[in-house]
Amino acid sequence: MKLYFSRNPNPRLAVAVARYLNAKVEFEFASPFAPGQAERYRPLNPNLSLPILVGLGKSLWEADAIACRLSRDAHSDLWRTGDDEPEMIRWLSWGKENFARACDVVHFERGTKQRYGLGPIDQDRVEEGLRDFRTAAATLEAELSEREWLVENSVSYADFRMATFLPFNDVAGLPLDDYPSVSRWYRQFEEIHAWRNPFQGLDAPELPPVPGSRHEPRSE
């Protein structure tokens, strides 16, 4: 199987999962929106978005679906099944619509738009994202003050999905430190090498720098 990826948040998530699982996949950096590339990738994903997993004559797109497939192939409980599956699905659903979505709004304005010259930061959108972040982070804070991980007592894909945008917080500037249990959870999550350095050893060009950022590109 081959996993097409980039360094952007959702492809990064898929690469981290694959490397955590020691999945039997080949990694290939891709740029479907680059000039002349769309027709190559459109048969694999009509949306032209990454990640894309290709194998057995067909393609699978969307990071959550890819994580499910790779976990099943590896016979791993990273993707919970049985009695824990509803709990994991709850956090996937809530996280994408609340915590991760708020992170995305702020990161898009302060990070993505600035990396790719898509216009000035919309401060109203940033404030909206920060308000939503604080609301969602308070919910997570209450939950994580009583548990080490989101589902039972070990890491699951719910943790991976919830943290999708946090590796980019050097440019997003979300007030993570205001929530000690959430901060503790993410610090322990960063101890997982596959999450901290998912691109190590891969041909993966750095993202364009954010103009005016005080932070240097992270060494992988």
| Model pLDDT for residues 104-133, shown as the tens digit of each residue | 999 999 999 999 999 999 999 999 999 999
- Once rounded to an integer, what is the mean pLDDT over residues 62-89? 96
Domains of the chain: 2-74 (3.40.30.10), 82-189 (1.20.1050.10)
| Model pLDDT for residues 169-196, shown as the tens digit of each residue | 999 999 999 999 999 999 999 999 999 9
- Once rounded to an integer, what is the mean pLDDT over residues 3-13? 97
Q: What is the pLDDT of residue 193?
A: 97
Q: Render the burial of 31-55: b for 16+ CB within 10 Å, e for the rest.
A: ebeeeeeeeebeebbeebbbbbbbe
Give the residues across from 5 on adjacent strands. 29
Q: Positive or negative CA dihedral for 38, 43, 45, 51?
A: negative
| Model pLDDT for residues 138-172, shown as the tens digit of each residue | 999 999 999 999 999 899 999 999 999 999 999 99
Give the residues across from 2 on adjacent strands. 26, 54
Say what percent of the chain tops pLDDT 90: 94
Q: What is the pLDDT of residue 213?
A: 62
- Once rounded to an integer, what is the mean pLDDT over residues 23-50? 95
The pLDDT mean for the chain works out to 94
Q: What is the pLDDT of residue 38?
A: 95
Looking at residue 3, its amino acid is L
Q: If we measure between CA atoms, which residue out of 38, 57, 36, 56 comes closest to residue 47?
A: 38
- Once rounded to an integer, what is the mean pLDDT over residues 96-106? 97
Looking at residue 219, its amino acid is S
The whole-angstrom separation of Cα 164 and Cα 13 is: 6
At what angle are helices 99-107 and 123-144 packed, to 10 degrees? 150
Indicate if the pLDDT at residue 91 is higher than 60: yes
Q: What is the pLDDT of residue 95?
A: 97
- Once rounded to an integer, what is the mean pLDDT over residues 74-93? 96
Q: What is the pLDDT of residue 211?
A: 87
Pick 219 or 134 by higher pLDDT.
134
**Burial environment of residue 116 by CB neighbours within 10 A (0 to 12, 13 to 18, 19 or more):** exposed
Indicate if the pLDDT at residue 220 is higher than 50: no
Q: Which residues contact 196 (CB under 8 A, 6 or more apart)?
A: 190
Indicate if the pLDDT at residue 216 is higher than 50: no
